[in-house]
Structures are given as C-alpha cells and as structure tokens.
Amino acid sequence: FNIAATATIRSLSMLRVIGIVGAGAMGKGIAQLIAQSGFQVLLFDSIPEVADMAKQALFVQWDQLEQKQKITPHVAATARSHLHVVEVLEAMHVCDLVIEAIVEKLDVKQQLFHQLDQIVKDECILATNTSSLSVTAIAAGSRLPSRVAGLHFFNPVPLMKVVEVINGLLTAAHVPPLLQALINDTGHAAVFAKDTPGFIVNHAGRGYVTEALRILQENVADFTEIDQIMRGAAGFRLGPFELMDLTGLDVSHPVMESIYHQYYEEPRYRPNYIAAQRVQAGVLGRKTGQGFYSYPPVSEAPLL
C-alpha cells in the first residue's frame, strides 16, 4: 500500500468538504454536527428518500434550535447552506474526508470502500462509524488501507460529546490526529483506541447489556427495576434496557454477536435469546415505537 498517497491532508484547514454515506440515525446526526461546525457536507444514502428526509428533519431541527436560542442564527444559516444531499456516490469525488455510516455488515462496508476508491482522490481520508466490526478488516476493502480509520460517534450524535478515533493496523500516523482536530472543532472530544473488538465502549459496554439481559432471564427483577437501580444507584444516565431501546436491537444485538465471535466465543460476551427474539419480532426500540418500553411517534420526540 502507498502511504505517500495519503500524506497530503494534514491540517484541519485542508478538510473542506466532508462526505457522509448513510443518512440513517447516525449519518443524520453526524451531518448535523459537522454542518453546524461550518464544513461543507455531502450526504448520500442508497435510498434517496432517506437522505431527503434527513435533510428535511435537520432543517426543522435547526429552526427549532434557533428559536430556542440553542444555536445562533448564524450557525443555523451556515448549517443549512452547507448541507447538500447528493444523489450519486460519484459526487463524493470532491471530498477530503468521507465518513461511512451505513449498515453494520463487513462485506457491504468493504464494497463501499472499494467503490469510494474509484471515486475519491488518493489523499481523501476514509472513516468508518462501525460500532463493532474490525476497522482493519473494513480497510482491507480499500486499495489504500493507510487512509482508513474508525470514527465512532455515539447516538444521539449532537449530545454525545465523546467520539472514539480508532487506529487500524495499517492506518497512517497523520490520520488519527487529523480526525481528533475535526472532532475538537465540532466541540466534541476524541478518545483514541486501537482496533480491537468493540474498541472501548462496546467492549466494556457489552457487560452492561448482556448481564442485564441475564438478570432479566433469571427472573431476578423486572427490566424497569434493573434500569431504575442502574440509574439511581450505579449512576448511569440510561438503564441498560433504555439504552438498548435507544440504540435499537437491530443494531445492538448484532454488535453483541459480532464481539462474541471476534473474541472466539468468550462466554463473558455471550448474546441473549431475549434480544434475538425481539429482533425477529421487529420489537426494536424507539425506532419502531415499541421496545422494552413504548414510545410516542417521532414528531413528539424531544429536541436534540
């Protein structure tokens, strides 16, 4: 691989246009944060309506944030004028950085990175928002794995102020500090981690949700009581079941499976049939209106 090819974008001022691929829960949030910070953002989704809806939702969000004086009119206007939905991936050719936030499937992500290789300039950095896959394995989809790193935001992106910056095995040395500078510029903070299964949060956090599911399975307590005690006594902002509802079990359960397998079936990380069954039934959490708890329609959801 060619490290020299990725050596040109070294400072924040050289990151002008940032592409985001995937306009779902995470891509939309990342687009909000980055556009609010004044970067030009190109947003693409393989389902064009999803990207259009994300843009519409962000415009409403910016209006509301402006009315509530949570952002200035200048920031709102800048964000609105800097967010561009693009209909073809080829539009990413102008990007200095592309952040991928598509479905959590290794082969699909590798295929996207392979496609991006044909589109973007060699110095463009590619970041993946994967929660649980190997950054090194995703980078193997690119002919320039040295330009690939992990940039792991948390949900909801504007409120979760810490981001993991993941160093893949072949990531070039200049890439993580540049991503850190970007994160700092948005007002968030970066934490560096090596590319290991689950990085930091999803490694330590597996215990939080898998043990809670085991407590439920063993009929030790109701899920509301488990949440209550973990919030009230253990000091977590969300109980484990509230957290699974927020993340969505369609995301959370595959993460549990992926980390379990990456640690060679280490029993500590074993996923739970309670989660598997709920995925099969489509009882996913906030996004479906019903998870462990029931939720009002999205229009009544709180402002982020």
Nearer to ligand NAI, 221 or 283 (CB): 283
Residue 29 Cβ, how far from ligand NAI at the closest point, in Å? 8
Indicate if 74 belongs to the active site. no
Indicate if 131 belongs to the active site. yes
Nearer to ligand NAI, 104 or 195 (CB): 104
Query: Residue 157 is encoded by which pair of tokens?
Result: 């992106």
Which of 129, 132, 202, 272 is the catalytic position?
202
Which of 152, 174, 188, 253 is the catalytic position?
152
Residues 6+ apart with CB under 8 A from 261: none
Nearer to ligand NAI, 134 or 247 (CB): 247
Residue 45 Cβ, how far from ligand NAI at the closest point, in Å? 5
Residue 7 Cβ, how far from ligand NAI at the closest point, in Å? 28
Nearer to ligand NAI, 78 or 186 (CB): 186
Alpha-carbon span 279 to 274, nearest angstrom: 9
Residue 52 Cβ, how far from ligand NAI at the closest point, in Å? 11
Nearer to ligand NAI, 104 or 227 (CB): 104
Indicate if 93 belongs to the active site. no
Please give the C-alpha separations between residue 167 and each of 171, 180, 207, in angstroms, as whole numbers: 6, 12, 23
Where are the extended beta strands (E) located within 22-64?
40-44
Q: Which residues bind ligand NAI (CB under 6 A)?
A: 21-27, 45-47, 50, 101-104, 108, 112, 129-131, 153-155, 247-248, 251
Indicate if 152 belongs to the active site. yes
Q: Are 199 and 166 in contact (CB under 8 A)?
A: yes
Which of 164, 174, 253, 272 is the catalytic position?
164
Alpha-carbon span 71 to 63, nearest angstrom: 9
Of the candidates 9, 70, 12, 68, the one whose C-alpha atom is nearest the C-alpha of residue 36 is 70
Q: Which residue is nearest to ligand NAI (CB)?
A: 24
Between CA 177 and CA 171, with CA 107 as vertex, the angle to 5 degrees is: 20
Residues 6+ apart with CB under 8 A from 66: 72, 73, 76
Phi, psi at 162, each rounded to 5°: -120, 140
Residue 105 Cβ, how far from ligand NAI at the closest point, in Å? 8
Phi, psi at 104, each rounded to 5°: -80, 65
Please give the C-alpha separations between residue 262 and each of 32, 139, 196, 273, in angstroms, as whole numbers: 32, 17, 9, 19
Residue 92 Cβ, how far from ligand NAI at the closest point, in Å? 11
Task: Provide the 8-state DSSP code for 302.
Answer: P
Nearer to ligand NAI, 127 or 226 (CB): 127
Which of 37, 129, 131, 142 is the catalytic position?
131
The residues that are catalytic are 131, 152, 164, 202
